[in-house]
Each structure stands twice: as structure tokens, then as C-alpha cells.
Amino acid sequence: MLLDEPLVALDPETVADIRRVLRDQLVSITTVAVTHDAADAVALADRLLEHRNLCQQRYIPAYVVGCIVSIEGLY
């Protein structure tokens, strides 16, 4: 499944609800989610791929959050 900015047009309360639904429903479905929102990436991913240097990291919440902060500094 391909999700292109799936939560971008939603209000914050709805985003939190939909993140939980997506995380639960997509657990066994291979999915590519394109997003510019680091919170969406951390909430939905078990692996991340940063498109500038193709650095792939396995999802470990504390590590990935640190990785995303450093990636955002590149933009």
C-alpha cells in the first residue's frame, strides 16, 4: 500500500486517532508512507528511509527520534 501524506489535511485530534488506526490495521501489510511530518513517520514506521542519503534505520523509538531530528537539520 502507498500512503502519500495520509494525515496532512486533518486536524490534530483526528490525526492522533487515525495514526492509531493505521498503526493497528497496517501491522501485516507492506506499506510505503511518504511524509514530511517526523511525528507521522515515527508513529507509523517500523523502518525509515531518508531520501537524501538513503540511510535506512530500524525503528527503535528513542534512536529514530534522534535520527529524525538530525535529518530535519539538513533541510
Q: pLDDT for 32-68, tens place per residue?
A: 888 888 788 878 877 776 666 555 545 455 555 555 5
The model's pTM? 0.62
Confidence of residue 15 (pLDDT cuts 50, 70, 90): very high
Number of domains present in the structure of the chain: 1
Q: What is the DSSP string of 32-67?
A: EEE-S-HHHHHHH-SEEEETTTTEEEE--HHHHHHH
- Range(s) of the domain holding residue 40: 2-72
- Residue 69 buriedness (CB in 10 A; 0-12 / 13-18 / 19+): exposed
Contact 43, 19 (CB under 8 A): yes
18's enclosing H/E stretch is helix 12-25
List the grid coordinates of 60.
527503535
